[in-house]
Structure 1
Amino acid sequence: MGYPRKLTRRFRAFDNFAISFTIINIISGIFSSFGFGMNAGGPLVLVFGWISVSVLVLFIGASMGEIASAYPTSGALYFSAGKLAKHNKGAWSWYTGWLNFVGQVGGTAATGYAAATFIQALVAMQWPGYEVTGHRTVLITAAILLLQALANTYTVQLVAVFNRISVWWLLIGMVVIVTALWVMPEHHQSASFVTHFANNTGFTSALYGGMLGLLVTSWTFTGFDGSFHMSEETVRATVNAPRGIMRAIGYSAITGLILMLALVYAIRDYGKEAAADAPPVQVLIDALGMGTAKLLLLIVIGAMLFCGLANMTSNTRQIFAFSRDGAMPGSRWWHSVSPRTRTPVKAVWLAAACSLILVIPGWWSKTAFTAIVSVNVVGLFLAYAVPIYLRLRLSDFQPGPWHLGRWGRPIGIVAVAWILVSNVLFMLPHASPITVTTFNYAPIALGVVLIIATAWWFATARQRFQGPVSYGSPDEVAAMDLI
């Protein structure tokens, strides 16, 4: 791919799958957004939205996997955009990289924020006098980001070990939660309950309220580009990276549907639980009792922490690669690698700091979580769409060992179409009436990044940034390898 090797190639096929599976993280995604879905569409959208969006995400993953097989680098999306563009390679690569960056930061921030919310819910269950506040949520999120950054500063083997543990934590945890929700409650909702619709968003349009509920599934299925970003640290990356993407999405779709159905059928008092500060926690309490709910919350919080750790790892590799091509302020800092751990330590701390900045509005905003989620979903999926769109325009695309054959174009068209439709939706208001505390600031956060990227592009970057840098011929680059 034209780069001297700095990162250690020690991720096996399972490790590559594990990072995307951990970032998707069905327990974290479903529990953190279940309450939003209860009020934006209810069981009808939670269940059937999950099924339909999962299929559409598989289309996106397949198209991304085909590109990952052709361009297995840490630069992933922005690198492939620069290679696939016919003209203006630098501009396509530049904007894809910045969208990917803000989406990755949004994912790390949202997962940490969700974990902080559930930690406070658990504390409040244990000590009823504890008051849950936005201030405390932000401070706990900062502590979580600090711990995850420390973990990411050590060797890639440590991150790989955490990711392996996280896969089993997720699978065993899901079995425990689902079994408890099916066996322990005295009664469940009737089979027809999955058709129940609810719109408590404040908007009069039931269609709009229900469409907002698709955010639950879309938020869960983000970050599978992690397998792509870890390509330079994965053995046989041309095959194992795309397989990691597809397996992570497929297994998450099936296991997530089982978990979603278990939560939906365990609902008892819909109005009370939907209005609770943490609706899925209230569902667990009402269905299983306080003691069991506390134990299951430990599983949920652990899953969220693993998810955030993997998010930050992927975020860091994107920063490292983007800086390697001189596309970020202070690039020479962010693409440096620790000689002891062989990890981009400075990029880790930049990822943590940017995530914290995105969380700060939670100090006063009631819709901070959905806004951060929107930044995550919109930034990442637009970054996913660009190389897929460019691949559709390229008649002489040279696929890698893993490819879609004649199905590549139709699958890619569906993928891009869904990304455009969903991203427009997630930039719109999520609650009514629209006030300072309910305003969806995702368009502002995304707009600020794009304005900065555009100003910088026309000021200086377009003269020096021409897309991914080539350091020489394969033989010359091999001689530069630092490992």
Structure 2
Amino acid sequence: MVKPERPDSISSTKEAIGAKEEARDVAVSDQRLLDLGYKPEFRREMSLFGVLGISFCAIGILNGMSSAIQTGLFSGGPLGLFWGWHICSFFMFLIALSFGEICSAYPTMGGLYFWVCRMKPDVPILGFFTGWLYSMAMVFTGVSANLSAALYIASMIEVEQRRPLERIEIAAIAWALNIFSGIINTIGTKAIGHMSSLFVWWTLGGTVFLVVSLLVKAPVKNSAGFVFTNFQNFTGWESKGFVVLLGFLQAVYTLEGCETAAQVAEEAVRAEILAPLAVVGSIVGSWLIGLAYLLSLLFAVQDIASVQATTFAIPIAQLFYDAVGPRLTQACLLVVMISQVMAAVTTFTASSRLFYALARDNAFPLKKQFMTLNRFQSPYWGVWTSVLIGCLISCAYIASAIAFNAMMSSAAIAVMLSYLQPIIIRVFWPDSLQDFGPFRLGRWSWTVNFASFLFIILVCILFVLPTAYPVDVFNMNYAIVAVGGLLVIVTINWFWWGRHRFKGLVKTV
């Protein structure tokens, strides 16, 4: 008579099978990286949930929409916000599909930079510009996120003490948050993976809390007609169509970041499947979650003019204050602020991995240092370079909020310009991608890429146009100056250093 297996024996057998399957998946992922010419340097400790969380963190739907809601409220109002959200989400979804196809073929860190270098190896300047522009955009985005978190904290203090903080106090909080982001990233992949997984649940729980608070506590609920058709214009421009288009920038700013999952592709098991799923899934999830949050804001907003004239450090605080009162305003700001901090952490994760990838290919100085990993598997030179740049840029806020806002707007434009590079290649050189991965668009590929191309061009133009009329030195959109300065720096660096050292991707095996 055969004795039945003991439960602990069955459990041990399942664990052994699971370990074998995981080892096989790791071997498959590492072999794919070897085929691309790179030696595996990172432990593959990220699951789908962790990789998805990275993109969710980078998008930061709650903090992104909260920080930029005034752009849409003042440029088109509820009508522009609601319909603009769907239009922009759809086109950002198309961009995510395009990125997912490329990411599945090239599941390695570097993301946009690596893709451009791989698809157009005969034009190394394209890869160099993409890598430097995108890495600086990630650093600037992280700095912007930490300053926004400081503004949320400043608004919480103002609600409590009725005392607005000085700019130097807000900058000091931003410095502390930059350093905190550096510490978390120094701890390594596991810490980031756990935090990004937590972020998914924080976003879901935070959305429920904000939506319920706004819809239950708002003293006056707006009508459906107001939410879907009301037009507002605080810009001074007369053209309604142009004003609504300016409001689109709120949605684009909120939805940037889906491609961040590619930066941790070398730290994920079966990255050729998980990374593209995370890229596309983060946009779909953000589209739906953002819609729920946006509707609650539009139904609960009491007075758009009050938001426009607020004295709070960040306008969303006034909307919360009018709708839910001072006590719940503190809780709402806390939910968004924590989301903002986690988003900043992941942008420094992306920038440090980009510095690593650029140094690996001789596109960045101090190669040995920027490719050094600590015992937590963190490229800490890239992490603390991001922190240092962030603290220096935050100093600009003390001198001039206008100058700082211009630099931060330039980050959003730089991201879109970085998006443009691989999309252009896929449109005008469709045969540049030969080795497709499991995620493939098939006959729809060129159409998706062409639509993405047109949308990115439109957005880049809108980002540099003046958002108020008549234009003066105080409301001028100086983002074009900041972006131009960044492009000049990268160009000088190319001719001074890059063209002599950077010849394209450098294989490590």
Q: TM-score range by the shorter chain?
A: over 0.9
Task: Name the structure 2 match of 1:43.
Answer: 78
Q: Secondary structure at the match of 2:439?
A: coil
Task: Name the structure 1 match of 2:164.
Answer: 131
Task: Name the structure 1 match of 2:113.
Answer: 78
Deviation by residue 1:347-373 (Cα, 9 ceiling, x = unmatched): 001112223333333224344565344
Task: Name the structure 2 match of 1:238.
Answer: 272
Q: Secondary structure at the match of 1:289?
A: helix
Contact persistence 2:131–2:358 (CA under 8 A): yes
Q: 2:319 aligns with which of 283, 292, 295?
A: 283
TM-score norm. by structure 1 comes to 0.93
Q: Secondary structure at the match of 1:147?
A: helix
Contact persistence 2:42–2:377 (CA under 8 A): yes
Matched, 1:307 2:343: yes
Deviation by residue 1:88-147 (Cα, 9 ceiling, x = unmatched): 2x111111112211221221111111111111000011111x223333222221111011
Q: 2:498 aligns with which of 451, 454, 461?
A: 461
Q: 1:323 aligns with which of 343, 359, 362?
A: 359
Q: 1:91 aligns with which of 125, 141, 149?
A: 125
Post-superposition offset of 1:37? 1.9
The CA distance in 2 between the partners of 1:429 and 1:341, in whole Å, is 46
The CA distance in 2 between the partners of 1:33 and 1:366, in whole Å, is 16
Task: Name the structure 1 match of 2:192.
Answer: 159
Q: Secondary structure at the match of 2:258?
A: coil
The CA distance in 2 between the partners of 1:265 and 1:434, in whole Å, is 32
Moved more, 78-87 or 365-374: 365-374
The CA distance in 2 between the partners of 1:294 and 1:170, in whole Å, is 17
Task: Name the structure 1 match of 2:221.
Answer: 188
Task: Name the structure 2 match of 1:337.
Answer: 373
The CA distance in 1 between the partners of 2:478 and 2:384, in whole Å, is 24
Pairs aligned (count): 469
Q: Secondary structure at the match of 2:431?
A: coil
Q: 1:452 aligns with which of 489, 498, 508?
A: 489
Structure 1, unaligned runs of 5 or more: 472-476, 478-483
Task: Name the structure 1 match of 2:260.
Answer: 226
- 1:251 corresponds to which letter in structure 2? G
Contact persistence 2:361–2:504 (CA under 8 A): yes
Question: Percent of counterpart pairs with the same letter?
Answer: 31
- CA gap of 1:464–1:432, structure 2 versus 1, over 3 A, is same
- CA gap of 1:451–1:369, structure 2 versus 1, over 3 A, is closer
Contact persistence 2:425–2:432 (CA under 8 A): no
Q: Secondary structure at the match of 1:87?
A: coil
- 1:218 corresponds to which letter in structure 2? V
- 2:451 corresponds to which letter in structure 1? V
Task: Name the structure 2 match of 1:175.
Answer: 208
Post-superposition offset of 1:384? 1.5
Contact persistence 1:370–1:440 (CA under 8 A): no
Superposed, which structure 2 residues align to 1:42-441 within 5 Å? 42-85=77-120, 87-88=122-123, 90-128=124-162, 130-194=163-227, 195-277=229-311, 278-338=314-374, 340-367=375-402, 370-392=405-427, 393-395=429-431, 397-398=433-434, 399-441=436-478
The CA distance in 1 between the partners of 2:395 and 2:292, in whole Å, is 34
Post-superposition offset of 1:208? 3.3
Q: Secondary structure at the match of 1:328?
A: coil
- 2:338 corresponds to which letter in structure 1? G
RMSD of aligned C-alpha atoms? Answer: 1.8
Structure (1 or 2) with the larger CA radius of gyration: 2
Post-superposition offset of 1:22? 1.2
TM-score norm. by structure 2 comes to 0.88
Contact persistence 1:114–1:369 (CA under 8 A): no
Post-superposition offset of 1:40? 1.7
The CA distance in 2 between the partners of 1:204 and 1:359, in whole Å, is 35
